[in-house]
Amino acid sequence: MAAPSGIRAVLFDRDGTLVVDVPYNGDPARAEPMPGAVEAVRRARAAGLAIGVVSNQSGVARGLLTLAQVEAVNARVDEIIGPFDVWAYCPHEEADGCACRKPAPGLVLRACAALGVTPHETVVIGDIAADLGAARRAGARGVLVPTPATRPREIQDAETVAVGILAAVDLVVDARERETREVLR
């Protein structure tokens, strides 16, 4: 990862990045942290970064989840991994053509506004191309953390790939520290 300018925030994808992906999960008891997620969020927060979550939740539009269920799972993720400074989720499905469903930039832009940072000061960490596409379209940087759901082409096309969520946060924190040292010279 090239040394980004002024990193102030990290936005994480929820399913497959922070927690094990349980399709259309509406049960908080099924929220299980991905390996390294708790430590990664702790490290990002200790580095002084604002942290948030950006997540597509199309199960709402499909009638498989309620907004209350999504929020209950989000609250559980806050308990076991967070707390997070901001949550932004899209309840639409692809056919709705909204501006928030990743890879559209709306969730990233909304989270950045809530955190008081610009997209240029933000890194998005996710497990599929839609996460990186949302980052790119918003003007943020992206780090791909491949999982079994990640297609080989998504890995090839990603500018920055990390072997896990903790490694992704380490890349961001290390780049931020390098930048700070350069400014102090």
Catalytic residue among 13, 21, 127, 131: 13
CB-based burial, 157-166: b 16+ in 10 Å, e otherwise: ebebbbebbb
Residue pLDDT, tens place only, 47-64: 999 999 999 999 999 999
- Average pLDDT over the chain reads 93
Asked about 15 being catalytic, the answer comes back as: yes
Nearest to 37 by CA among 157, 176, 174, 147: 147
Report residue 4's pLDDT band, with 50, 70 and 90 as the boundaries. Answer: very low
Pairing of strands 50-56, 86-90: parallel
Kindly list the domain boundaries of the chain, sorted by start residue.
Answer: 9-172
In whole angstroms, how far apart are CA 78 and each of 5, 60, 130?
Answer: 28, 20, 23
pLDDT of residue 3: 38
Catalytic residue among 15, 21, 127, 131: 15
pLDDT of residue 182: 59
Average pLDDT over residues 101-118: 98
Average pLDDT over residues 58-78: 97
pLDDT of residue 86: 98
- Return the structure tokens found at 34: 């991905």
pLDDT of residue 1: 47
- Return the structure tokens found at 105: 């930039």
Could you tell me which residues are beta bridge partners of residue 125? Answer: 12, 143
Asked about 170 being catalytic, the answer comes back as: no
Residue pLDDT, tens place only, 113-133: 999 999 999 999 999 999 999
pLDDT of residue 175: 81
In CATH, the number for domain 9-172 is: 3.40.50.1000
pLDDT of residue 6: 86
Report residue 180's pLDDT band, with 50, 70 and 90 as the boundaries. Answer: low
Q: CB count, 10 Å around CB of 83? A: 11
Residue 157 scores a pLDDT above 90: yes
pLDDT of residue 176: 79
pTM of the complete model: 0.93
d(CA 2, CA 102): 24
